[in-house]
Amino acid sequence: MATAKKSPAAPAKKAAAKPAAAAKPAAKKAAPAKAAPKAAAAKKPAAARKPNAAFMKAMTPSATLAAVVGATPLPRTEVTKKVWDYIKTKNLQDAANRRMINADDKLKAVFGGKAQVSMFEMTKLISDHLK
């Protein structure tokens, strides 16, 4: 009789496992349905981006920064591009940590005498040299 009690319990466990397995494919079907609206949202035509007027305003670099980027008034974005061009041509990025910039004589004057600055600190220091 003890074996009779165990056998009805075993099929009950198997029956419970089958509905759980059936629920998993239903969840997988729901996931692509959620992804479809994202794809539809991505297909909408994007509005034309307008540049921020503050970034596009031509600013005059100081004499120390002019030694690196030139003396003509430039927007902030162009000043940053020219400084990065200078850094890359002179190979001034730190080899171990590419986020750090090793200053040569011209950049040391721009960086306030610091021998090495991070790329994020660099933009802050450059903005101090723009009028």
Tell me the fold of 76-131.
MDM2 (1.10.245)
Query: What are the pLDDT digits (tens) for 30-56?
Result: 555 555 555 555 566 667 888 778 778
pLDDT tens readout for residues 93-109: 999 999 999 999 999 99
How many beta carbons lie within 10 A of that of residue 125, not counting itself? 16
pTM of the model: 0.60
Q: Domain residue spans in the chain?
A: 76-131
